[in-house]
Structure 1
């Protein structure tokens, strides 16, 4: 999705909203923008996940300009809650329908700079890709002020924005820069971040769709003093198109696309961690019985009893009867109704020498 005007042909914000709501052909749901990678999944795994993997799973993710949910499809499995904001009502309506079965996901229309839906210091990861590249200086400045308000103490933002402001006007063809904003650069974003108490901790400029101009930048931004805070680490990736994009496209020709239902289960892992923390807090407060019950229920829900039973059988076949007995005892403790586990444990005890 596009978010703002530029001086090289991108419409003003009001016209921009009208274009995405009324004029743009969404029949491919925005997936066509990943064709250079060979498809959405290849762009996600090769270009995106490899860069954000250290920040997920996250408690609460805020996605700016999800469009029709190209990245939401993956992000939803990496958090406890995901909030998407977009200027296009049609995009928000589509995402609400597409992800209606995900109770932890919600979408809202915003005005192109506001993150009013998010409360102060509540967001663990802000994500925006292939959208804010069209946003000019004033839009980025407004969003960074909001980042300073909504990011959690150790929150981080990963945003994809223009770097065309680092080039002198007239030194490039304004009609061949993929509608990138011309007043934004990596240096500008770093200055804007510092002005509101944030820090850029890495900035990778990339040659997007060409082999000469570093027209885009991926910036990682956090609070000054957060656990991610450090001196800005910068890199210039002039080979982005001819190597990274091309590699993904080659992979896409050799191997099948990801299954639509593929998920990490990171949400479940995060919920387990939260239950574990709560149980320890209860135990520290003297309520060991409630802590034990909570943790037992959590473990029961995470382990497949059939897998534990089969693992015990395999351990026995491999000659490790002690492990087999221990696994079956644990299984019966967690799932006392599991008949096969009782039968297998009885058979093992009968066969074991005294």
Structure 2
């Protein structure tokens, strides 16, 4: 219930925080989210009350949802399309590195503080506050605040949204509601990307969340299975960065790179659910991390590139709602109840249905992506 509460709170809050990030100074917006996260997380160290924990998790989910929209908006403002895939992939890989470091921190904290959960929570809060302070010192919202030209002027390239508008525009007189209706709700590509991302997250959490429970049924020790969650996460870092760079080399064909990864993921999932060989499953999980996180990362970038820069935050929030409220919660609450009723085979069935949906939507996005790239090339040649 606590994990589902965080997912629901994060997904819903991300929708609103994303809209606010488009109108805020992201330098201070990001730091504020980290400071508040540190405060609410520290509160968890001093309570055993279930309802207080639920409340703190909701608050922490809300303020942590300030991070991704702010970061993704800054990436769109600082990097042009020709190298945005690499920059975005490096940023996104922090999710995986952070998840691995979380496992290490819990183990180290338990060892250093004699298993004190309070000390572990407080340690995480101190780290968050330190990073927030660093962000205030070195972060910069946009190139213009540093006396530099905007990214469109610097790159001298044309960037188009899915509707053919100038994607580099980062200011508008439209209200948050008007931006949301025009560029999100009425945008069929945004909907396609959001549904694709939801299904990818269902696969991601359908595998990752259940590794410690599922692998012991194949003879793995519970302790080793727990560490495989960390391996699954950290192994994705180089793969995510490489695929981000590849999408730049292919002139922004993010969906095409996703399609390549999904073909590999289909094979990896078959091995994961059908094999009983421990070595093969361990190696398979090592590669599966990249094959899941690479498309998850590029899909997040695709939704930002489908709208003008002044709508990047709200697009991030919109996709976050689908990722966490529908994807993550579905992978924990829904799959959990199905496993309890029908056994572990239900997990595989749900994941392969989600994979089929992702493949269909990605093929559609590949065709759309090529049309936009051809138009951009035509306009760049004219200019």
Task: Report the TM-score when normalising by structure 1.
Answer: 0.25
Mark the structure with the bigger radius of gyration: 1
Larger strand fraction of residues? 1
TM-score if structure 2 supplies the norm length?
0.24
| Structure in which a larger fraction of residues adopt helix | 2
